[in-house]
Amino acid sequence: MEQLLIPLLLLFGIGFSGVKIDREYERGVIFRLGRLSKIKGPGLYWIIPAVDQKAKVDIRTKTVDIEPQETVTADSVTIRVNAVLYYRIIDPNKAITRVENYQMAVYQTAMTSLRNVVGQNILDDILQKRDQINFKVQEIVDEVTEPWGIAVERVETKDVEIPPTMQRAMAKEAEAIREKRARIIKAEAEQESSLKLGEASKSIMANPAALELRRLQMLTEIGAENNTTTILMMPSDFISLAKQWSESLQQQTSVSIQEHSIPPGSETE
């Protein structure tokens, strides 16, 4: 009886060793006598011990942190760029049989593609058009990794390190641009203000009493703000009187000029 029990236990142990369990995000690539057989999982399944070999593959999205790459842009500026890449395996068969180490292959491809794409653009485009840079890197890496059964989901540029001298130059440029914009705005405001003042002066000349009303309004505002500044202003009556005196003087001057312009002897005739 014991002689029969021992072989049965051995057979049971060998058979039990062929039982495999894979999680929902895992797949098992089965090789039978060295040849690709099938893909199994998730869940419980059984393989032939000593005949079948299993390679486990994780089909979840993976993250690749691309270390900073030092490269020269199209306008000859040396910068360091790092990024992060997201990918997942869509065909476990190809990921195991087409490439030796798909993780290292994806990393190397992403690193070289990032360096090449950055080197083809100027610094301003790299700083302002990161979405286009990311899309271009994703497109190149996805094209390379497609035969390996890998899909690149996203590429994001994390940081761009610029030399300190270039940072100072960019700060000066930004300051100059803002100063230029401020001067233009101030000049436009002065131009608009001069036009409004010209219209106001014409209105006051037509109605001198408006100047007196404006003076009283300004005094009211000064009193409300508790301002101690004293402003001397001429009443509108003085302005009207000065205007009339100026017109009278002009008329007298024109009459005297006309009298002197009459030739001698014309009166006797």
Q: Which run of H or of E encompasses 187?
A: helix 164-206
Give me the CATH number covering residue 158.
Answer: 3.30.479.30
Q: Which run of H or of E encompasses 38?
A: strand 35-40
Q: Are residues 88 and 147 in the same domain?
A: yes
* DSSP assignment letter at 267: T
The verdict on residue 251 lying in a domain is no
Q: Are residues 27 and 51 in the same domain?
A: yes
State which residues of the chain have pLDDT below 70. 1-16, 204, 208-212, 221, 223-246, 249, 255-269
pLDDT tens-digit series, residues 222-233: 766 665 555 554
pLDDT tens-digit series, residues 58-109: 999 999 999 898 889 998 889 999 999 999 999 999 999 999 999 999 999 9
The tokens describing 156, both together, are 């994001």
Residue in 203, 208, 210 with CA at minimum distance from that of residue 239: 208
Q: Are residues 66 and 137 in the same domain?
A: yes
What count of residues does the chain have? 269
DSSP secondary structure string for all residues of 214-233: HHHHHHHHHHHTT-------
- The domain tally of the chain equals 4
Q: Are residues 151 and 66 in the same domain?
A: yes
Q: What is the pLDDT of residue 61?
A: 95
The verdict on residue 155 lying in a domain is yes
Q: Are residues 94 and 150 in the same domain?
A: yes
Could you tell me the pTM of the whole model? 0.63
What contacts 108, CB < 8 A, 6 or more positions away? none
Q: Are residues 67 and 137 in the same domain?
A: yes
* Full residue range of the structural domain in which residue 12 is found: 8-58
Residue in 38, 142, 144, 148 with CA at minimum distance from that of residue 95: 148
Q: Are residues 123 and 212 in the same domain?
A: no
The verdict on residue 2 lying in a domain is no
